[in-house]
Amino acid sequence: MKFDGQIVISILLAVLMVRLLRRFFDLPKRLPQWDKLLTWIWVPGVGLGIIDLLFSFRNDQLDEVYMLFVFGVVILVLVAIQDYRPARTVLLAIVPYALYSALELVLALSEWKLGKNYEDAFDASQGFTVIWMITFILIARNQKRNLEKERLLREEEEQEKKRIAAQNVELERLVAERTATLTKQTEELRKALTELKTMQTQLIQAEKMASLGELTAGIAHEIQNPLNFVTNFSDVSAELITELEEEKRKPNRDANLETELLVDLKQNLQKITHHGQRAASIVKGMLEHSRASTGELQPTDINTLADEYLRLAYHGLRAKDKTFNATLYTNLYPELGQVNAIPQDIGRVMLNLFTNAFYAVQKKKECGADGYVPTVSVSTRRTETGDVEVRVRDNGMGMTAQVKEKIFQPFFTTKPTGEGTGLGLSLSYDIVTKGHKGLLTVESQEGEFTEFTIRIPS
């Protein structure tokens, strides 16, 4: 007995072919059941080898039968995974060779002899099938590489999508956190704004009360003069009446003296009436200033307002500092006429400007400048366009360019803490520009003068 070596080679080739097939098509994942069966592909070959050894077949075609069997199994596997494009290509590659091998085996078993020409053509077709198989196997390999690249690209895209999705989730979380933070901050800002508005209202009211305090102090000092006159003339009138009564009781009455006493008494009563009216007008002005503004424009005597508030501001400062004195100048245009304005508001503006002017000259006086005479002036005129112009000038401390740029800003003040709110000029600016559609400007030179100009359209 002699074991045929061809069958051994065929078994090795079959095992190698199946191994390559399993790796190339990843059969453990695609066809796990077929993959297990393919591990036993060598068993039929060994069985044929044993049969040949035991029965001593003279026919040496058992290896070809076995290879056809292997090719058949491979074809079945490829048909099972034909949805995979390289599998279809490999199937197309080996089918011609398998058909040729089957035809060759049939001819060998039937001992059918072909002619010389046909044998040459048959041999040539064998070479063609081999080249065909190798070519399509190479094509299948390229297809697999391309598919692998596409798979890796898809995996990368999936990974990128997952990464983007994770980033989106994180961004949504961050946006939600930021939104919550901004919402909280918005609520805090809204609360702070409400508190700020309340505080602003309180400060504005405090500024108005401070203005009213300045006005009241000036009024108290100003009203003292007519009241003193009323008191003095009342006392003198009482003395004149006493003298007149005594003269009437005399046996020899002096008619000329009685007439003179009556004339003096009448003059005193006229002076009492005059100064009483003056005191009443001052009280009326105080009441108008303290009364809430109606916001309606009405004919207003600007000259009268300027003159009264200049003196009221001056006496208001003197009520605080009895040693303070200043020179007052008024240059009021006599033909100014009535101006459409809100008297209470314009009065507040003038009182604020006069108060600031007296404050400035007082501070310069305190510096002890030799020969310095504190002076505050007010002038009115009609411009070429018909507007009414009021100028308030002082020879006080003046201001720098930086201070002049900020002078109308809310809460800005050059006064020490506790002496000013920084709202006086800001409110005055709003009253003139917004309430009267006018202009409020300032010119100043540090250490020399400051001049505010109010311009109200006619």
Set out the domains of the chain in order of their start, with CATH numbers: 5-165 (no CATH), 295-458 (3.30.565.10)
Q: Which two tokens stand for residue 256?
A: 């000329």
Distance of alpha carbon 108 from alpha carbon 9, whole angstroms? 20
Helix (H) or strand (E) holding 368: none
- The SS3 assignment for 420 reads coil
- Rounded to whole angstroms, the Cα distance separating 255 from 22 reads 157
Q: What's the pLDDT score for residue 317?
A: 77
**Edge-to-edge strand ranges of the sheet holding 327-331:** 327-331, 375-382, 388-394, 449-456, 439-445
Which residues does residue 379 pair with via DSSP β-bridges, in sequence order? 331, 391
What are the residues whose beta carbons fall under 8 Å from the beta carbon of 103, sequence distance 6 or more?
A: none
Confidence at residue 378, expressed as pLDDT on a 0 to 100 scale: 92
CB-CB contact of 348 with 423 (8 Å): no
Give the model's pLDDT for residue 293: 53
Helices 302-320/343-366 angle, 10° precision: 40
pLDDT at residue number 138: 85
User: What does the block give as tokens for 250?
Assistant: 């005399």
Evaluate whether 67 touches 13 at the Cβ level (below 8 Å). yes
With beta carbons less than 8 A apart as the criterion, state whether 345 and 293 touch.
yes
**Do residues 241 and 265 touch, judged by C-beta distance below 8 A?**
yes
CA dist 102 and 96 (Å) reads 10
SS3 295: coil
How many angstroms separate the first and last alpha carbons of the chain? 140
Tokens of 265: 């008494």
Phi–psi pair at 408, nearest 5 degrees: -95, 5
Distance CA 428, CA 434 (A): 10
Q: Are 198 and 409 in contact (CB under 8 A)?
A: no
Phi-psi map region of 368: left, alpha, beta (phi>0 left; psi -120 to 50 alpha):
left
Give pLDDT, residue 285: 57
What are the 10-residue block averages of pLDDT along the chain, 458 residues in total?
62 81 80 81 75 60 75 82 81 79 70 56 71 82 83 87 89 89 88 79 60 57 66 74 76 74 77 72 58 69 88 79 85 86 85 88 82 90 89 89 81 61 73 87 89 89
Question: Residue 77: which H helix or E strand, with range?
Answer: helix 62-80
Torsion sign across C-alpha atoms 191, 196, 197, 201: positive
Which residues, at least 6 apart from 174, have a Cβ–Cβ distance to it below 8 Å?
none
Q: How far is CA 89 from the centre of its chain?
A: 65
320 and 217 in contact (C-beta within 8 Å)? yes
State the Cα–Cα distance between residues 166 and 185, nearest whole angstrom: 28
Tracing tokens 């006005």 back to the chain, one arrives at 215
Question: Rounded to two decimals, what is the model's pTM?
Answer: 0.46
Q: Determine the Cα–Cα distance for residues 9 and 15; give it in Å rounded to an integer.
A: 10
CA contacts within 13 A on the Cβ side of 162: 6
Q: Which two tokens stand for residue 333?
A: 């245009």
With beta carbons less than 8 A apart as the criterion, state whether 424 and 368 touch.
no
Q: Which pLDDT score, from 0 to 100, does residue 2 have?
A: 44
Cα–Cα distances (Å) from 272 to 148, 259, 406, 431, 445, in that order, read 119, 20, 49, 38, 46
